Structure 1
Amino acid sequence: MSDLLNQIQALSDADAVALLRRFIRALGTGLPKPELVQRQAQGIADALSLVAAPEEITSEGDIARSALQILAGDARFRESLQTMVSNAHSTFSRSDGQIEVSDLLAVLQSQVPATGGAMQQTDRTAAAQPGLVRALARHLLRTVGLQPSGTQADAEYPVWYATSRKPLDRANPSLGFGVERDHCIHYGICKVFIPKSHKVGSTGSPWWKRLLSATDDRMRVLTTDSLQVDAFFQKMQQHLRQSNVEDQDAVVFIHGFNVSFEEAALRAAQIGFDLQIKGAMAFYSWASRGSVKMYPADEASVELEETPIADFLCDMAMRTGARRVHVIAHSMGNRGLLRAVSQIAQNAERRSGVRFGQIILAAADIDARKFQELCKAYTLLSERTTLYVSSRDIAVEASGWLHDFPRAGLMPPITTAAGIDTVNATNADVSLLGHGYVAEARDVISDIHALIRHGAAPAQRFGLRLATTVDGAPYWLIGA
């Protein structure tokens, strides 16, 4: 344990609580808009209440020491904490002027549930671990003058869609969309039910878990409303204008193979809800057949989506008024996105008005050489591009075996490219197939949240460790 962690662990309950309160107050008073601090803190609290266990921690000192140890592991806070621990009368100095209370809360949210990390568990804190997130949230909110929201209520979350699928009934698009490709793109909004029992990374538990828990935590699509293309973008623009300035971002999710329209809507809603996207969460649903047996058909289908995806992304960037448009592609959806972005980059007239925020590529089922050949387009059009890879991804491994060529999302070998951050998510995902970590693994969700919210480089994001390939190329490790 470092000297700073030892000093924190040795603090009495009263001293630990006093130090944490002084630290957060000093952090908050430096912000130009105190009301913004409160709004951000409340939003984090709402999200925390979703995943917190019912147990509570009895010792406020344990809460404070745990929080301080977690914060001491973050380079943004370490030096100031060391000064404050050593000098009871020192104040917190923000050298870069960028740190906000939401940064602090986000660090706690992402790190408390994890094992290890910066927190050094005592017998008492280990025993209280299930309730630590909720207790920390309450303690920190009290410090900035807020009360927690309590148990999260059921919610409805809107997701905006564009799809190349044929409607199940052309006369009534509200019935949804099937598996065949149409000759035009359809637009609209789905409203998705989020139960109060929702857990981060899940769209719903298997039947046997619901039976054992006597709780139905399944998300479900409530309505599917169709819109004409102009009305779609006008309505989204109006929606974004009504949001707070810091929330006027849009995120587009492009799903992978073996996904139905309804499944795409649920996954987009889960990602948007868990990432706390308050602007516009959208998804592009290409005509996947929604069956493992139809892999060749899905390959043929996604090859036809290059231009429609390019058009949709350009429209999102140019017609919505969004502050930034971020893109998340999963699995086979990376094939459509890579070709679409390459098309945009090659068209100088189109590219002049198009710029994206974060481009996030996960479990990419695409030939590694083709990826390296075309991926420069990402660096031309985005603020930052991040490629998440894994060695435990059975789905992408099967694709590599089928094609007899390495896939960009599977390691070894690990795919790296100039201007693109590669993150090894092998240790972050413990699911059976190891393929859904972009939406299901808490560490990855927290990292994507940091990317979208702050656009920080890997070295500035909590929980990433630098590594190098055998050729000396840098990449990053996430997870225990």
Structure 2
Amino acid sequence: MTGSFSTGSNRRHIAILKTISTVGVVFALTACSTSKWDVPLVPADTVVADIERVFVATMRAPTGKDDMRFSGERSERLNFSEIAVSVPKDRKVGKIVGPEEKPDPSKEFAAVQIKSVDDETAFVEAINAEMAGRPQEERVAFVFVHGYNTKFGESVYRHAQLRRDYNVRALPVSYSWPSAGKLEGYLYDRDSVQFARDGLLQTLELLRRSRARKTFVVAHSMGSLLVMETLRQASLSGNQRLLRSVNAVVLAAPDIDEQVFVKQVEMIKPLPRPFVMFVSSKDQALQASRIARRGNPRVGEGKDIATWQSLGITVVDLSGITDGGLMKHGVFASSPSLIRVIQDEGLNFAMLGQKTAAEEVERQPGRRERTRFADNVVHFPTDE
């Protein structure tokens, strides 16, 4: 009868509601704080000790306001800016605190200066000017692509934190795609990933034309899908020069369907090397994503490491890391113990394009080996 449900139908609907509820709770717990992720300027008379310069390319629409420079809305063109980020001197490694309306640089991330860059020509010129003042080995572009539910300010602050905490000897170039920055924006963000592919492709092409000797890309969560789709697009269009200009790729907690990922890898020729993935069986955000997709595993859960090995991908298993947040989705950036191990063992992101992790450890005799390298898999211990 129309408007009625059978017992079986009722059970199915109840199961669906429970799934939606579970996913909603987990995403709520794993989501970044929505308190203040604007980009207010530190007062001009404030003494700021630690500054990170971040170049930004974004497909977000400008707000026209003085605080947050770009919103979660989509732009028809790629926009550019250069932001000098104030990093608190006394803070816990891996932690970022967004600024209040009047930033306190001793406790909060904020901006000291924000410069709009007119167009892609001016962007390349600014990159070249920065590269000219660096030693040859540091003329490297470090591209960071953020994940779901990320506001513009947070994406920039996170990039500055990664460069500082990992001591990456490269120029930060942040690609900020139009995430809604809201819990309920998951599907909007998925569509924005598709929308933002051309912008990331354009950004990588600009870096290829610049004086950067190398480019390596680090992506988190849904941003990993954006990177893979962009590289696949470059391969399908025959843009071999661009693919060869990307010297290393790191995907942290990639929120990508396993079967989709295999197809993406097969289509990307040549695949950037080294290619590294951070995975964790304890990542509750990816577990929720799997539930929402009828149980299809996500790559970042690390359920099929043997397959990734067969594709020549180095897998870093973070399942044994005990700090870095309750939900274990942002461990790559927020775990002090992981950051310390990577620093101690010579696994710095800036070295990825030069030596493998195993080679870096082998060339440091006498140092206690705290990670195990075998068949291009890195296992971090549970007794850290």
- TM class, shorter-length: 0.7 to 0.9
Letter in 1 for 2:232: S
Give the aligned partner of residue 88 of structure 2: 195
Q: What secondary structure is seen at the aligned counterpart in 1 of 2:285?
A: helix
Give the aligned partner of residue 226 of structure 1: 116
Task: Tell me: CA distance 1:429–1:436, structure 2 relative to 1, closer, same or farther (3 Å).
Answer: farther
Give the aligned partner of residue 165 of structure 1: 60
Q: What secondary structure is seen at the aligned counterpart in 2 of 1:383?
A: coil
Cα distance in 2, alignment partners of residues 432 and 242 from structure 1: 41
Task: Tell me: CA distance 1:289–1:310, structure 2 relative to 1, closer, same or farther (3 Å).
Answer: same
Instruction: Give CA-to-partner distance per residue, 1:31-69, whole Å, 9 cap, x none.
Output: xxxxxxxxxxxxxxxxxxxxxxxxxxxxxxxxxxxxxxx
Asked if the contact 1:243–1:279 (Cα under 8 Å) also holds between the matched residues in 2, the reply is no
Q: What secondary structure is seen at the aligned counterpart in 2 of 1:230?
A: helix
Q: What secondary structure is seen at the aligned counterpart in 1 of 2:180?
A: coil
Instruction: Give CA-to-partner distance per residue, 1:90-136, whole Å, 9 cap, x none.
Output: xxxxxxxxxxxxxxxxxxxxxxxxxxxxxxxxxxxxxxxxxxxxxxx
Give the aligned partner of residue 311 of structure 1: 202
1:403 aligns with 2:302: no
Give the aligned partner of residue 380 of structure 1: 270
Task: Tell me: CA distance 1:465–1:406, structure 2 relative to 1, closer, same or farther (3 Å).
Answer: same
Letter in 2 for 1:477: H
Q: TM-score, normalised by structure 2?
A: 0.75
Q: What secondary structure is seen at the aligned counterpart in 2 of 1:427?
A: coil
Give the aligned partner of residue 150 of structure 2: 259
Give the aligned partner of residue 475 of structure 1: 377
Instruction: Show structure 1 runs of 5+ residues with no match.
Output: 1-152, 208-213, 468-472
Asked if the contact 1:450–1:456 (Cα under 8 Å) also holds between the matched residues in 2, the reply is no
Asked if the contact 1:393–1:410 (Cα under 8 Å) also holds between the matched residues in 2, the reply is yes
Instruction: Show structure 2 runs of 5+ residues with no match.
Output: 1-47, 362-369
Asked if the contact 2:220–2:254 (Cα under 8 Å) also holds between the matched residues in 1, the reply is yes
Task: Tell me: CA distance 1:175–1:352, structure 2 relative to 1, closer, same or farther (3 Å).
Answer: closer
Instruction: Give CA-to-partner distance per residue, 1:73-102, whole Å, 9 cap, x none.
Output: xxxxxxxxxxxxxxxxxxxxxxxxxxxxxx
Aligned length: 314
Letter in 1 for 2:137: E
Letter in 2 for 1:192: V
Cα distance in 2, alignment partners of residues 296 and 477 from structure 1: 33
Asked if the contact 1:159–1:265 (Cα under 8 Å) also holds between the matched residues in 2, the reply is yes
Give the aligned partner of residue 370 of structure 1: 260
Give the aligned partner of residue 241 of structure 2: 351
Residues 51-130 of structure 1 aligned to structure 2 (within 5 Å): none
Cα distance in 2, alignment partners of residues 248 and 206 from structure 1: 31
Within the candidate set 441, 445, 453, 2:351 is matched to 453
Letter in 1 for 2:92: K
Asked if the contact 1:429–1:437 (Cα under 8 Å) also holds between the matched residues in 2, the reply is no
Offset, 1:175: 4.4
Cα distance in 2, alignment partners of residues 332 and 177 from structure 1: 19
Give the aligned partner of residue 107 of structure 1: none
Within the candidate set 189, 194, 198, 1:298 is matched to 189
Within the candidate set 308, 316, 321, 1:428 is matched to 321
Q: What secondary structure is seen at the aligned counterpart in 1 of 2:299?
A: coil
Letter in 2 for 1:447: I
Task: Tell me: CA distance 1:370–1:478, structure 2 relative to 1, closer, same or farther (3 Å).
Answer: same
Q: What secondary structure is seen at the aligned counterpart in 1 of 2:89?
A: coil
Larger radius of gyration: 1
Letter in 1 for 2:351: R
Offset, 1:387: 0.8
Identity of aligned residues (%): 26
Residues 210-289 of structure 1 aligned to structure 2 (within 5 Å): 216-228=106-118, 229-289=120-180
Q: TM-score, normalised by structure 1?
A: 0.61
Within the candidate set 265, 269, 280, 1:390 is matched to 280
Offset, 1:205: 9.2
Cα distance in 1, alignment partners of residues 270 and 142 from structure 2: 19
Offset, 1:456: 2.5
Q: What secondary structure is seen at the aligned counterpart in 2 of 1:375?
A: helix
1:176 aligns with 2:69: yes
Q: Which has the higher contact order (CA 8 A, sep 6+)?
A: 2
Q: What secondary structure is seen at the aligned counterpart in 2 of 1:382?
A: coil
Asked if the contact 2:128–2:210 (Cα under 8 Å) also holds between the matched residues in 1, the reply is yes
Cα distance in 2, alignment partners of residues 215 and 385 from structure 1: 36
